[in-house]
Amino acid sequence: MNYHELTITIPAPFRDTLIRRLVSIGCLGVIEQDDSFLAYFPETVDRASIRNELSIVQALLAKSGSVAGLSVHSSSIPDQDWNETWKKGFVPIDVGERFTILPTWEKTKQGRINLIVDPAMAFGTGHHETTRSCLVLLEKYAGRSDKENLLDLGTGTGILAIAAKKLGFQRVAAVDTDLLAVDATRKNADLNEAEGIDIREGSIAELNETYSFILANIISGVLVLLAPEIAAHLKTGGIAVLSGILAGQDDEVLEAMTKAGLKLIKRYPDGKWISLAVGR
Ligand code: SAH
């Protein structure tokens, strides 16, 4: 069987949403690149359903006021090339001092905290700058908190929640408004033998606990809206890492956090992205 390879360029904050939607209609896998990603479909997939998902996400993009748009290039590739192309896109990467992100078929690295992602699930693989920044800042500041409990807000693939569990947080909660993300997180938690993560569909407002650490890799607009909730759910002495912020939007996010009573600990740039560590 031949495959369709779509090269899709889309602003990063919308990438995961689109990938999830494509997976739900039969996308076999993705390979993430800098500003775009490759998505693979069997030739038999209904093209109208792909177009439909693309237009839904395009509408979301337009509604968000994003200046960058979505563009798609399609080509057909023969079966045998596909597996190789696919695997080449997933090399293990070291992140921070201790983490290594690797696909299921690679051997885990001794002496590192291995985070295994299953590319066949076609979700974000942690190769994105904002995910990496969260891991770096989590590792850097985990020791400053009491490590009692952590909230991964907008967990996506669950990668940050899994990392937190492996770093020794006693209780980890992972929430996402997208049910497909919740399913992916469950599968990834199993794959990583990260037990006991409280995985739920929903958002922060429905949670009644305060946390030692909060990770929120969402987008600036959502972070601004959620600032009061994030502050209210952070323990005194707790730390929140906020990511998914494009350079130039960091002041706006920080202002919302400051208004909610949080203080800047660290501004951490990576490419065109800025992550913020704030404390209470
Ligand atoms: N934490 C992952 C995924 C980030 S993508 C990582 O760092 O790689 C952002 C996720 O936030 C998406 O899965 C999206 O569904 C979720 N999300 C967006 N708005 C949200 C909200 N208000 N509450 C909870 N989750 C949200």
Q: How far is the CA of 158 from the centre of ligand 1 (A)?
A: 10
CATH code 3.40.50.150 region(s) in the chain: 141-279
Beginning with the edge strand found earlier in the chain, give each strand of the sheet holding 3-9 in spatial order: 29-32, 36-42, 3-9, 71-77
Ligand 1 pocket, residue 54 CB under 6 Å? no
Residue 215 Cα: closest atom of ligand 1 = 1
Q: Which CATH superfamily is domain 141-279 in?
A: Vaccinia Virus protein VP39 (3.40.50.150)
Q: How far is the CA of 260 from the centre of ligand 1 (A)?
A: 21
Tokens for 202? 């929903």
CA–CA dist 75, 26 (Å, integer): 17
pLDDT digits (tens, 9 = 90+) for 219-267: 899 999 999 999 999 999 999 999 999 999 999 999 999 999 999 999 9
Q: How far is the CA of 198 from the centre of ligand 1 (A)?
A: 16
DSSP assignment, residue 104? T
pLDDT at 199 over 80: yes
Orientation of helix 159-167 relative to helix 129-141, angle to 10°: 20
pLDDT digits (tens, 9 = 90+) for 102-130: 988 889 999 999 999 876 554 456 667 88
**Confidence at residue 123, expressed as pLDDT on a 0 to 100 scale:** 43
Q: How far is the CA of 50 from the centre of ligand 1 (A)?
A: 22
Ligand 1 pocket, residue 160 CB under 6 Å? yes
**Confidence at residue 121, expressed as pLDDT on a 0 to 100 scale:** 53
DSSP assignment, residue 72? E
CATH code 3.30.70 region(s) in the chain: 3-88
CB 13 within 8 A of CB 244: yes
Class at the top of the CATH hierarchy for domain 3-88: alpha beta
